[in-house]
Amino acid sequence: MNDTLHIDFGSDVPAYRQIIDGLRAMLVAGVLKPGQRLPPVRQLAADLTVHHNTVAEAYRALADEGWVDLRRGRGATVLARNVPQPGPGDEVRLAQRITELAAQSVANGINRRRVAQILQDVSHNLVAKGNG
């Protein structure tokens, strides 16, 4: 699993947030399936070269979101999660975040057409994986 999960230590995004976002992406994509155990906190921390509390915080956040079950001595197990209904303003906030990310990408030198292609590829992959 840690082959697909990486920490960018030069990023402004804290390491625990990168772990949450990376694992959530793997959960949504079906890479991590219900019943599957996540690596022990200390193992993943060593693999990612972060403090074990960083991984523990990420696991707790995913448990709060209903993605994983945390049990002392048994670790973190992926749960079958019901997809919640979007709240008021969720789609507007999504569009705003995507717009900001696309603008940042263009500002960092990525060609506008390439940004659009990446967004289209991501959208296609989401639809192909299900969940509407």
> Alpha helix (H) ranges present in 11-83?
15-29, 41-48, 52-64
23 and 62 in a single domain? The answer is yes
65 and 105 in a single domain? The answer is no
- Separation of first and last alpha carbons in the chain: 26
Q: Is residue 5 part of a domain?
A: no
Q: Is residue 8 part of a domain?
A: no
For residue 53, how far is the Cα from the chain centroid? 18
Q: What are phi and psi of 121, to 5 degrees?
A: -65, -45
Q: Is residue 83 part of a domain?
A: no
pLDDT at 129 over 80: no
Residue 99: what pLDDT? Answer: 95
Residue 132: what pLDDT? Answer: 46
Range of the domain at 27: 15-78
pTM, whole model, 2 decimals? 0.78
Q: Is residue 94 part of a domain?
A: yes
Number of domains in the chain: 2
Residue 44: what pLDDT? Answer: 96
CA dist 119 and 24 (Å) reads 18
pLDDT at 4 over 90: no
98 and 121 in a single domain? The answer is yes
Residue 2: what pLDDT? Answer: 62
58 and 33 in a single domain? The answer is yes
